[in-house]
């Protein structure tokens, strides 16, 4: 997602109120992963093609040929930006076909009985429904746009296509562990859902964990992933106090496993090198009553990160990292 817009200014790198305790917690999870990443980078490795993430929304950019589909997805991303810039056109074909929409039913694995909600950020068809996604909804602390188009690579591949592809891969991996998995949208809606409904879907499913998948739209040279966790909010319909601590634990586990699985480094522009950011302005987090995090997998507007995000085998690694983090969190 891109952070620009009317009531959504780009967050300035700052010290999170949870920075000290989170940094200590992450120290227990990320060191080995970062060491592995350092060795990985030193020997010239990169998840597939290597490449930085993207930034702001591509204005009317049309996607080039579909990105690599490599890395089968085994069997078978509300990061709320303000609307207000032109929308990228949808990809002419799916980036890959990682998993059918009828992934295996939850089995008897270690996550049997657990419910995970996956929120693929944005919707490939949002650009066709400007009036609907621009209408304001109540997110507890304020009113904001229902949804946005998301960002895109410089070549025009939409964030919404990326998030849905990774969501399918992640769903398959979690169902193989026995979890019951629900997506907030599966390419089966004409637009949205709005950010308040995305949170409500997780709440009504009584999810044991929820994750919103995104890719950032920051400036070229800004690279790496970051995980966004809810800060303490108690205002209007928003009350995150009960989920701040478990969401922080979920975020830490996802970040540590994402590093190990992908070889990607934490963001070099947010999170003080931890890959962890706390925010109190995202409706999808503020309205959640279940443990929930957002993950910005990379920057679509940076060429090097974009090369990763458009690689099917790297997307499979990204899904694997998220899955391992969620499994670790749910098993305790």
> What's 244's domain CATH number?
3.40.630.40
- Residue 88 to residue 47: CA distance in whole angstroms: 26
Q: What is the mean pLDDT of residues 53-59?
A: 33
Q: How confident is the model over 203-261, as pLDDT tens digits?
A: 999 999 999 999 999 999 999 999 999 999 999 999 999 999 999 999 999 999 999 99
Q: What is the pLDDT of residue 107?
A: 58
Bigger pLDDT: 87 vs 219: 219
Asked if residue 57 lies in contact with residue 303, where contact means CB atoms within 8 angstroms, the answer is: no
Question: What is the model's pTM?
Answer: 0.74
Enumerate the H helices of the chain as residue ranges.
19-27, 31-42, 130-134, 159-176, 195-204, 244-262, 283-286, 303-309, 312-331
Q: How confident is the model at residue 1 (pLDDT cuts 50, 70, 90)?
A: low
Q: Which residues are catalytic?
A: 296
| 6 domain-assigned | no
Enumerate the H helices of 180-293 as residue ranges.
195-204, 244-262, 283-286
| 12 domain-assigned | no
| 66 domain-assigned | yes
Helices 31-42 and 244-262: crossing angle in degrees, nearest 10, is: 20
- Residue 29 to residue 168: CA distance in whole angstroms: 26
- Residue 62 to residue 247: CA distance in whole angstroms: 36
Structural tokens at position 35: 């060491």
Q: How confident is the model over 274-326, as pLDDT tens digits?
A: 999 999 999 999 999 999 999 999 999 999 999 999 999 999 999 999 999 99
| 13 domain-assigned | no
- Residue 8 to residue 282: CA distance in whole angstroms: 9
- For 44, the domain range is 19-331
- Residue 169 to residue 72: CA distance in whole angstroms: 8
| 10 domain-assigned | no
Structural domains in the chain (count): 1
Q: How far is CA 16 from CA 21, 231, 239, 275, 328, in A?
A: 10, 9, 19, 12, 24
- List residues bridging with 239 in a β-sheet: 234
Q: How confident is the model over 88-105, as pLDDT tens digits?
A: 434 433 444 444 444 444
| 75 domain-assigned | yes
């Amino acid at each position: 997602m891109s952070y620009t817009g009317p009531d959504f200014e780009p967050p300035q790198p700052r010290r999170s109120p949870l920075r000290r305790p989170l940094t200590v917690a992450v120290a227990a999870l990320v060191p080995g992963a970062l060491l592995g990443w350092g060795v990985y980078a030193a020997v010239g490795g990169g998840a597939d093609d290597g490449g930085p993430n993207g930034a702001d929304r591509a204005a009317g950019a049309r996607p080039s040929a579909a990105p690599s589909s490599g890395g089968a997805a085994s069997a078978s991303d509300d990061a709320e930006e303000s609307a207000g810039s032109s929308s990228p056109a949808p990809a002419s074909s799916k980036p890959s076909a990682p998993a059918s929409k009828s992934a295996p039913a939850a089995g008897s694995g270690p996550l049997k009985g657990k419910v995970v909600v996956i929120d693929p950020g944005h919707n490939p068809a949002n650009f066709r429904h400007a009036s609907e996604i621009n209408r304001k909804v109540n997110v507890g602390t304020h009113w904001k746009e229902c949804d946005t188009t998301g960002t895109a690579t410089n070549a025009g591949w939409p964030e919404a296509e990326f998030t849905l592809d990774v969501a399918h891969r992640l769903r398959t991996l979690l169902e193989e562990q026995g979890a019951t998995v629900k997506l907030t949208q599966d390419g089966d809606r004409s637009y949205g859902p709005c950010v308040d409904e995305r949170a409500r879907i997780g709440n009504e499913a009584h999810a044991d964990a929820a994750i919103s998948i995104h890719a950032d739209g920051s400036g070229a040279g800004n690279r790496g992933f970051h995980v966004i966790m809810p800060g303490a909010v108690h205002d209007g319909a928003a009350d995150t106090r009960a989920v701040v601590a478990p969401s922080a634990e979920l975020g830490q586990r996802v970040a540590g496993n994402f590093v190990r699985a992908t070889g990607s480094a934490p963001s070099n522009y947010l999170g003080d090198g931890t890959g962890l950011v706390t925010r109190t302005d995202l409706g999808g987090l503020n309205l959640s009553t279940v443990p929930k995090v957002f993950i910005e997998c990379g920057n679509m507007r940076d060429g090097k990160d974009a090369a990763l995000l458009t690689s099917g085998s790297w997307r499979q690694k990204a899904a694997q990292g998220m899955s391992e983090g969620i499994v670790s969190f749910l098993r305790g």
